[in-house]
Amino acid sequence: MGLEESTFRDVVCTVCGCCCDHLEVTVKEDTVVKVKNACAMSTSKLLNYMNERIMKPMIRRRGRLSGCSYRDAVDAAAKILLKSRSPLLYGWSLTSCEAVEVGVELAEEVGGFIDNTTSTCHGPTILGVHEIGESSSTLGEVRHRADLIIYWGCNPIHAHPLHMSRYTLLSKGRFRKSRSERTLIVVDVRRTDTAKMADMFIQVEPNKDYELISALRAAVRGDEIEQDEVGGVPTDLIEEVAEMLISCDFGALFFGLGLTMSPGKSENVDAALSLVRDLNSKTKFVIIPMRGHFNVNGANNVMTWMTGYPYAIDFTRGFPYYNPGETSAVDLLARGECDSALIVASDPVSNFPYKATCNLTSIPLITIDPHITPTVLCSDVVFPSALVGIETSGTVYRMDGVPLVARKLVEPPRNIRSDIEILRDILRRYRNLKRLGR
Amino acid sequence: MPKIQVTLLTGRSLGQGRAKEQGKLSELYLESVACCEVQHEDLQNIGLEYGNNIRVTSNHGSVVVKVVAPTQPLPRGVVFMPYSIWATQILGSDTEGTGMPTYKCIPCTVEPAIDEKIMSIEELTKKFPRKRSRS
């Protein structure tokens, strides 16, 4: 980390849920100068992480954000939380498990809601798993054994660019060594770039996934399908696919937001989990959600260890309560139930629907983020933070639940602290103010 | 004014994923996400060319973006917008009891908006209300 050029090997990427751990990053004078083995998104992040950085804490005064001391920002944040009856603590998927741990402690202390970005990505997946359970495995198992891969409602070439080369179709496993030993089926509304690589592409009509999965379940059971087509897919083809699924040795179904974000949501996932459960009476099959952010799975795990629930947790009653649809961030904001918010490593102003965002910008807003984002522009108190996996280390969970350590590669800019330090300082100040009765 | 009924999908694109890492205030990010992919025949129905501005309207709002050619083929009547603050302007907040808003399969209309301007991130963030007193 000095003036000499040094290369870090087996670096864990902190972009998507693949958490690829084979990157080579060359650093000189505390700057990343070269990146090898990374995808386009990861390379872009590692070479541009200093773009649009926030370099000092800020407080909104007379309608404008202006620089302030770190101490003043901590004091202002603690006072906002102290005045609130139902604050929302949201984000947590682009930071470390250790920061999430402090976040849960803070949420309990302030008696607020804590939710992570799961509620707007794979929340319905978790609801489906509550109902059905999941037959899962690590990505290593898939790499070594899977002879049939399905991507349903996901497009890894764009969203998880190295998923196919590291874990599925193009990977070299112990028992499946080449592309010719694997079959790829893609189900999507669009003929995506992933679909172009498939042995079989099934184009389903928009919002007909549930019907198609149900028909496939019927075909796997050996039941007759009376319709000529389901969801735009001919019955003959559905029966052919069912035969392919039954006759494989080790099948892996990966699914994305095509199932969770379309009407039906958790019911679509419920159907996919049920299909895989059914298939396990005939052969070996696993199902793995394509998690988006690099530590969204870690946020679920830490919150589950600490509260019993993976996201959308309500501490306003004095004990953890969980009911997605009621205690999840978008619902709380749409109903106008929160009176302040602390956003950590997330950009809900860009990602939440308009009405929920209007209510978010109407309440006192504290944001901890390395970069300038629309959420930062709408905030009242802003803390610049160090990037996990580049400027600070931390534990992250890959999409299949394997924990990995994201390392520190360079020093953060002067006076830029980690999420953990900032959250601990806010918690400490909050406790002091509360004890003093202010 | 010609107008077509479409089904909107929002989603990740590699261009969006790469551009957001370069900064959300960057020109590249604006180019990558303030857009809507429309199939060629659908575009001809409203008499437009790629590069023109269009207005996409749902039951929840309306936004002006640039119309671009699909990077991956779309069925007729289906349009695609990358995840961004432009796309979320027209999404509803109802989660049907799941916590998850509907980001895909949204009924919308698309119409020409050649003379209308695409709002910048700064302009969009100023649109949001600030009701309560600030610290």
pLDDT tens, residue by residue, A383-408: 999 999 999 999 999 999 999 999 99
A residues 112-151 lying closer than 8 A (beta carbon) to B:
119-120, 123-124, 127
Which chain A residue shows the shortest CA-CA distance from B14?
A158
In-domain check, residue A136:
yes
Query: A322 forms bridges with which residues in the sheet?
Result: A313
Return the SS3 of A6.
strand
Inside any domain, residue A2: no
Q: Beta strands of B1-135 (E only): which ranges?
A: 4-11, 35-37, 53-58, 61-68, 78-82, 104-112
pLDDT of residue A2: 57
Residues 71-110 of B with CB under 8 A from A: 71-75, 78, 80, 83-85, 88-105
CATH number at residue A85: 3.40.50.740
DSSP string across A187-233: EESS--TTGGG-SEEEEPPTT-HHHHHHHHHHHHHTPPP-SSEETTE
One pLDDT digit (tens) per residue for chain A, 438 residues: 556 899 999 999 999 999 999 999 999 999 999 999 999 999 999 999 999 999 999 999 999 999 999 999 999 999 999 999 999 999 999 999 999 999 999 999 999 999 999 999 999 999 999 999 999 999 999 999 999 999 999 999 999 999 999 999 999 999 999 999 999 999 999 999 999 999 999 999 999 999 999 999 999 999 999 999 999 999 999 999 999 999 999 999 999 999 999 989 999 999 999 999 999 999 999 999 999 999 999 999 999 999 999 999 999 999 999 999 999 999 999 999 999 999 999 999 999 999 999 999 999 999 999 999 999 999 999 999 999 999 999 999 999 999 999 999 999 999 999 999 999 999 999 999 999 987
Do A207 and A184 lie in one domain? The reply is yes
**A322 CA: distance to closest CA in chain B (Å):** 11
Q: What is the pTM of this model?
A: 0.95
Neighbouring C-beta atoms of residue A11, cutoff 10 Å: 24
Containing structural domain, residue A327:
58-119+294-389+412-435
Kindly state whether residues A161 and A140 are assigned to the same domain.
yes
Residue B54, min C-alpha distance to chain A (Å): 19
Provide the residue ranges of all domains of chain B, joining segments of one domain with +: 4-127
Q: Examine the domain organization and report whether A153 and A197 are in the same domain.
A: yes
Q: ipTM for the complex? A: 0.94
Are residues A314 and A427 part of one domain? Answer: yes
Give a yes or no: residue A429 inside a domain.
yes
Domain count across chain A: 2
* Cβ separation A364–B102 shorter than 8 A: no
Q: Does residue A278 sit in the same domain as residue A303?
A: no
- The residues of chain B scoring below 50 in pLDDT are 133-135
DSSP letter assigned to residue B30: H
| Model pLDDT, residue B133 | 46
User: Residue B102: its chain A contacts at CB < 8 A?
Assistant: 261-263, 265
B62 CB within 8 Å of a chain A CB: no
3-class SS of residue A251: strand
* Closest to A110 in 3D by CA, of A436, A427, A433: A427
Comparing CB atoms, the residue among B9, B92, B131 nearest residue A353 is: B92
> A-chain residues within 8 Å CB-CB of B26?
51-52
Identity (one letter) of the amino acid at A423? L
**A352 part of a folded domain:** yes
- What's the confidence (pLDDT) of residue B132? 56
With CA atoms as reference, the chain A residue closest to B103 would be: A261
Q: A16-56, pLDDT tens digit by residue?
A: 999 999 999 999 999 999 999 999 999 999 999 999 999 99
A90 & A213 share domain: no
The b-or-e profile of B87-108 (16+ CB within 10 A means b, else e) is: bbbbbbbbbeebbbbbbbbbeb
Residue pLDDT, tens place only, A245-300: 999 999 999 999 999 999 899 999 999 999 999 999 999 999 999 999 999 999 99
Spell out which residues of chain A touch residue B61, defining contact as CB-CB under 8 Å.
354
Q: Quick one: fold of B4-127?
A: Barwin-like endoglucanases (2.40.40)
Establish if A312 touches chain B: CB-CB under 8 angstroms: yes
- For residue A145, the domain's CATH number is 3.40.228.10
Contacts of A47 (CB under 8 A, 6+ apart): A32, A35
Who contacts A125 (Cβ-Cβ below 8 Å, separation ≥6)?
A: A255, A259, A260, A266, A269, A289
Separation of alpha carbons B123 and A21, rounded Å: 39
